[in-house]
Amino acid sequence: MKVASKKPGKQRKAFYNSKNHQRSSLMSTRVADFLAEEYGVRRMPLRVGDSVRVTKGEFQDFEGEVLEINRKTRRVKIKEVTFEKTDGTTFYPKIDSSNLIITKFYKEKKMDAWRAQMIERKAYESIDEDIIAPKKDIKKGGE
């Protein structure tokens, strides 16, 4: 799903009114440069267990594992990012998915079939140049 408007309010409205299967693609996150070169993809949907690095905000340059993903609010909880309350308890603040970079995929050595298929489909370096689309036969109405 792609939002055509440039206005932030309309983009937020489109996200909140979208269906759950469309939100997962909207929540896809940038992939680190070294992973992008290796796999040939720039963005992938987040998964619990992925290692990510925070790029903006108070927790900039923190790196940790994804604990929870909330598709409704577009927020993510990360294991190593914690706040301490005045009573001494700690909690995981929610961070927007657009402020993250994936640094390591979950189960990178034994990648699941769904993610491997997505990487194969989205890879921009593995495109064969021999594939040519069939030409359409255009017939004019008068002939």
DSSP annotation of 22: H
Report pLDDT digits (tens) over 25-47. 778 899 999 999 988 889 998 88
Specify the pLDDT at position 67: 95
The per-residue pLDDT for 113 is: 83
Q: Examine the pLDDT at 14 and tell me if it is beyond 80.
A: yes
Q: How far is Cα 91 from Cα 82, in angstroms, rounded to an integer?
A: 6
pLDDT for 74 equals: 86
What is residue 119's three-state secondary structure? helix
107-142 confidence digits (pLDDT tens) = 877 777 888 888 888 887 554 544 444 555 666 655
Tell me phi and psi for residue 119, to 5 degrees: -65, -40
- pTM, entire model: 0.76
Kindly report the backbone phi and psi dihedral angles of residue 117, in degrees, each rounded to the nearest multiple of 5, phi listed first. Answer: -65, -40
For the chain, which domains are there? 28-122 (2.30.30.30)
